[in-house]
Structure formats: C-alpha cells, structure tokens
Amino acid sequence: MPNPTAIVILGASGDLATNKLIPALSRLHARGMLCADCLVVGSGRTAFTDEEFRARFKITPQFGQRLLYHAGTAGLKQYLDARGPFRTIIFFMALPPAEYAQKAQELRREGFGAEARLIVEKPFGNDYDSARALNAELAACFSEKQIFRIDHYLAKEAVQNVLVFRFANSLFEPVWNSHYIESIQINAFETVGVADRGAYFDHAGILRDMVQNHLMQLLCLLTMEAPVSLSAEDIRAQKIAVLKALKIDQCLRGQYRGYRQEKNIRPESTTETYAELQCAINTMRWSGTPVFIRTGKSLNRKGTEIGVIFRPLPHILFNESGGLKQNRIIFKIQPSEGIILDLSSKVPGGEMRIAQTTMAFCYRDAFADEVPEAYQKLLQDAIAGDRTLFVGAEETEMAWKTLGPVLDAGEIITYEPGIAPPAQFCPDWINFEEYQSAC
C-alpha cells in the first residue's frame, strides 16, 4: 500500500524542530491522528544517520520508526520516491526567512509539484515591499493554495473561540458595534527581554514581531463581519476588509533600559521593545470605537488579553450619579484561557446596593481534555489541506501596508525593566491583572 503522506522538516536540527515540531508530531502519533504509513523526514546541512537523528528527541520507539533523515535537498525527490509514492508531501520550512525563496526554488528544481505543500513561519517579509517580493518568489514555484503561512496565534483555542463567541451566540451580535462598544483594548505583555533572540529581534522590533501578525489577527477576528461560510477564503476575505479599513492614528515606541547591552544587540540600536497604538476602523460598524494596542518585552507581567468595554449607562435609575462601572468582556488568550464578563448585581439584603460581579468561563474548568498545542493543530490542518488557520498572501501584504507609516518612525522612550510605561492614548486602560484569579 503506498504511503499517502510525508512530512519533511527543512532545518530539522534547529530549535523549532526540537522544541515544537517533533513533539507536536509525536503527540499526533500517540493520538492516532497520523495515517498508518505517514513518514516524517528531517532534512538539514548536518549529516545524521536515522538512528542519530532519532536520538536527538524524547520520543517513543513506535514514533521513532516513522522518523528518517536526509541531508540537504539534493536527491530528496528520489529519496522520497523510493519510499512512496506520496499523495501529499508537506515541507515545513524551519529555516531563517531569508532562505524561504531559495529553498522553494530548490524543491521545484528537484521536481516537486502539485503534491507539495509549503509551511512557512513568520516573519513573512520585513515590510510591504519585501512581503510582496517574497510572495512573488514563492508564487513562481508553487500556487497560493500550496503555501501555508503560519501564525501560531490563530491555532490557539482561545483565539478560535473568539469566532465561536461572536457568531454562535445571538446574544452578542446586536451589540457588537460602535453604538454599544466604547473601545477595544488588546494587551500582549512579556516579562522576559530578548534573551537569545537578540540578532533577530534587533532587526525586527516589537511592531514587526508581534503587532503585524499576532495582534492584527486578533483585531481582525474580533471586529470582522460574519463570513458567508467557515471556509478559509471567506474568513480571509473578511479579515482583509478590516485591514483595508484600519488606520493607525497614533503610535508610541519604547525601549527598556539595558536593551543595548543585551547579547547581539547593536550599541546604537533604536529598535523598539514596547509599542502602544491607537487605531480606527473606518466602517459603518466600528466608526467611533477606537482600538488600543499595547505590547512589549521586559514588562511587569506576562499575559495576552482582549478587553471589550461597553458604553456607560445614562445617568438614570441605578446610575444617577454616573458611578456605575461599565460592562466589560475580557478574552484571556494566554495564560489560563477563558472569557470573563463584568456585570452589576444587587447585593443581598434590604437596601438597593449594587456590586460589581464577574461571570467566568475557564477552559481548565469546562473541558477535561488537554488543550492542544498550537503547532499540533496547525500540522494536523496542513495534513488535511485546511488553510483556515493560515494567512494568505494579500492578508499579509495588507497588514504590512497598514503598519508601514509607523515602522521605525518617531522617537523612542526609555522604560525601566519590569515596569510597563503608563498608557498614553487610552484614558481608561484596563488593569488586566485584576482578572488573573478569575481563571
């Protein structure tokens, strides 16, 4: 019986393969989610025997039997044909982005064609022009349907649940607009600095590393119109519509003190490690509702959250003094995934006293099964040919185009490590720490 699928990891001796890809494939194997004859082939510059390659990972002997190694791309087609034929061959480019185009050309010259699927990691380009050029180079070798651009945030269960929350609950759709929502706040903080990623990060910065991809995706899923279907093309069309209407009104960049002394950082670097943005979505649904984004490294806490703040009640009935807290919905993306609703409730007793209460949906309490890791879901979808959680060429280019005016622009403020700079653009920034214990 022919082997239907092969998964080839290009750059298989790197950290991504060791820490993410092989463990994810091992879990898929353990759960019976890989077809019986699926092969996993590592490929790289280093010469390994199959046994030496397997010994690099903590895997079961059963999964190890699937794991093979081939040095380089030369002769790879012949190597796979001798073990095939394969209906689908997935190439995961666990490589520096500068090598994507060259590697695609090598695969094409080897003779790979319609059976190939290419998975590429971020960053996909460095700005609008470079993203367009890379898209063109890949398109010269393989069709758009064969290219799977990863944004691992899209595979997080809490991110996917944003769509379910919005479009599977009729309770929220009537109020999901600027008439009822005062502002949207997206927060992505990290306590660590650049660590061992200095060489990459100093040429990227937090706007390229986080905002252009992960946080733009969160913004799109939260604000896009309902797609006609759940197909990749229909969802992507609605995200692109948001990006076309998105305008960045203000942007503040910052750098933590001591960043320039980190390993592989230029002494004169003006790369930002923190950014705050105020955005507007110029559509009928969202005109008048600002979107605020804050993200950075070496801050006071770790967490990614979205806050949806509803407009205040009129100064009547329970809110005559105007002191009633506005309703909020908090999407906790990581850690401790969940959704929290801030509500007003009556305090038990004779007097009419009102207290702020929360209703919390927490993944760890609601579902007994382990939440799948992002790469596990993405690899599973790539095997199935499902591009819903992957980013398209136009989508990538539009995100770069939107962010273009603020890339590397303006002065850099300095902030102390472990202390988040005060929010400058949002007068009522949510203290997301208040919700840590809710989930």
Q: Are residues 160 and 116 in the same domain?
A: no
Tell me the pLDDT tens digit for each residue of 289-337. 999 999 999 999 999 999 999 998 887 787 777 778 889 999 999 888 8
Q: Evaluate whether residue 141 is within a structural domain.
A: no
Q: How confident is the model at residue 256 (pLDDT cuts 50, 70, 90)?
A: very high
pLDDT in tens, 180-236: 999 999 999 999 999 888 888 999 999 999 999 999 999 999 999 999 998 989 999
Quick one: pLDDT band at residue 352, thresholds 50, 70, 90?
Answer: confident
Three-state secondary structure call for residue 261: helix
Assess whether pLDDT exceeds 90 at residue 372: no
Residues 263 and 339 in one domain: yes
Cβ neighbours of 173 (radius 10 Å): 12
DSSP state of 388: T
Residue 272 has pLDDT above 80, yes or no: yes
The yes-or-no verdict on residue 246 having pLDDT over 70 is: yes
In a domain, 103, yes or no: yes
From 121, 142, 165, the end of a domain falls on 121
For residue 2, pLDDT over 50 is answered with no
Same domain, 254 and 109: no
Catalytic residue (choose from 152, 203, 214, 315)? 214
253 and 303 share one domain: yes
Mean pLDDT, the chain, whole residue set: 92
Do residue 102 and residue 177 come from a single domain?
no
Same domain? For 170 and 318 the reply is: yes
Give the N- to C-terminal CA distance of the chain in Å, as an integer. 49
Q: Mark whether 249 and 185 lie in a shared domain.
A: yes
Q: What does DSSP say about strands 338-346 and 354-362: parallel, antiparallel, or unpaired? A: antiparallel
Do the beta carbons of residue 139 and residue 415 sit within 8 Å? no
Element (H, E) at 413: strand 412-415
The verdict on whether omega for the bond into residue 335 sits within 30 degrees of 0, i.e. cis, is: yes
* Catalytic status, residue 315: no
Amino acid 1: pLDDT: 38
Residue 312 lies in a domain: yes
Residue 143: inside a domain: no
| CA neighbor of 115 nearest in space, from 80, 149, 139 | 80
Examine the domain organization and report whether 284 and 416 are in the same domain.
yes
Q: Are residues 172 and 76 in the same domain?
A: no
Alpha-carbon Rg for the chain, nearest whole angstrom, is 24
- Using pLDDT thresholds of 50, 70 and 90, give the confidence band for residue 84: confident
Domain total for the chain?
2
Would you say residue 419 lies in a domain?
A: yes
Q: Is residue 252 one of the residues assigned to a domain?
A: yes
Q: Within this chain, do residues 194 and 326 fall inside the same structural domain, yes or no? A: yes
Pair 54, 173 in one domain: no
| 317 dihedral zone (left: phi>0; alpha: psi -120 to 50; beta) | left
Contact 183, 291 (CB under 8 A): yes
C-alpha span between 207 and 97 (Å, rounded)? 17
Query: What CATH number corresponds to the domain at position 100?
Result: 3.40.50.720
Work out the pLDDT band at 3, boundaries 50, 70, 90. Answer: low
Instruction: List the domain range (segments joined by +) for residue 43.
Output: 5-121
How far apart CA 393 and CA 381 sit, in angstroms, is: 18
Residue 138 inside a domain? The answer is no
Give the per-residue pLDDT at 356.
83
Which pLDDT value is given to residue 317?
80
Per-residue pLDDT of 4-62, as tens digits, reads: 899 999 999 888 999 999 999 999 999 999 988 899 999 999 889 999 999 999 999 99
pLDDT at 143 over 90: yes
Separation between Cα atoms, residue 24 and residue 15, nearest integer Å: 13
Q: pTM above the 0.85 mark?
A: yes
- Among the residue ranges 26-35, 267-276, 361-370, the one predicted with the least confidence is 361-370
**In this structure, are 70 and 167 located in the same domain?**
no
Domain presence at residue 286:
yes
- CATH number reported for the structural domain that contains residue 362 in this entry: 3.30.360.10
What is the pLDDT, as a whole number, of residue 86? 92
pLDDT above 70 covers a percentage of the chain that reads 98
Residue 395's pLDDT band, with cuts at 50, 70 and 90, is very high
